[in-house]
Amino acid sequence: MKNQQRSFMELFGTDVAMIGMVHLAPLPGTPYYDAAGGIGAIIDRAVRDTERLVEGGINGIQIENQFDRPFLPPGKIGPETVAQVTAAAIEIRRHARDVPVGINIHLNGAEQALAIAGAVGAKWIRVFSMASAYVSTSGYVEGSGPSLMRYRRAIDAEDVMIFGDFHVKHGSHAIIGDRPIEEQAADAEEAGADAVIASGFKTGKPPQADDIRRVRELVSVPILVGSGFSVKNAAELLPHIDGAIVGSSLKEAGDIWNPVDTGRVRELMDEVARIRTQHRT
């Protein structure tokens, strides 16, 4: 077993981890921020979602500034975002009990996420572009792996795992269109990703099982689904992956803007357990 796979299993206590999203409401300084209640109201909502995920039996919790739309590119993400997400993450960790927590900062704010993770004791970060480059909805985004790996060493955060996307959602990959996605996944691993993430073309859309099978042939690190995973496609995708980052399908009515629905979390976890039992037998 590869070191990354062993570390992944030790972190989540299972070989197939379901990671639930805590989507922070629009933060101060962003276009859709609602000043009523301030950052306190944002944190209170995040804590409620955290408690519902924990109650539903989730394996991990990932915090992200999902609603800071339109997203800024990495070099323009301000210190206010880092401060606000750090404040929220401290409270979320207090209510997450023993469930591990990770950080994702839009858009591809890899070093910002790592700084937060190191400060609050989070266990991983999600990085949208570890290698190569793509054209996002916010403009050109370069691979963050080379500088991120050096930054991780510099701030002594090498215990924070990096989950790296390839062919990530919400963007055009024409500039590397001559590279099949399995090679892009291998590039992310080569750039330092401790796990790679397969996603569909936008939030809520899953990747194809055939694509994941091709990726499995080239990478040795764990593979996560980063969008669109749900009860409906769990049986198709679960045999090929090591986990999933799940957002929309765990919300009330499956709407990303709604609060987490504990019943939907339980339903997913029960379905995952059923499929795993079926495959073991």
pLDDT at 1: 43
CA-CA distance, 87 to 69, in Å (whole number)? 20
Q: Taking residues 2-23, what's their average pLDDT?
A: 92
- Please identify which residue in the block is written with the tokens 């500039």: 175
Which of 46-50, 60-64, 109-113, 274-278 shows the lowest mean pLDDT across its residues?
A: 274-278
pLDDT tens-digit map of 202-250: 566 789 999 999 999 999 999 999 999 999 999 999 999 999 999 999 9
Q: Taking residues 135-158, what's their average pLDDT?
A: 96
pLDDT at 243: 97
Scored b (16 or more CB within 10 A) or e, 35-60 reads eeeebeebbebbbebbbbbbebbbbb
Q: What is the CATH number of the domain that holds 237?
A: 3.20.20.70
223-20-59 Cα angle (round to 5):
75
Q: Which residue segment(s) compose the domain that 88 sits in?
A: 3-280
CA-CA distance, 181 to 166, in Å (whole number)? 7
pLDDT of 143 over the 80 cut: yes
pLDDT at 204: 62
pLDDT of 264 over the 90 cut: yes
pLDDT of 2 over the 90 cut: no
Number of domains into which the chain is organized: 1
Q: Taking residues 241-260, what's their average pLDDT?
A: 97
pLDDT at 202: 57
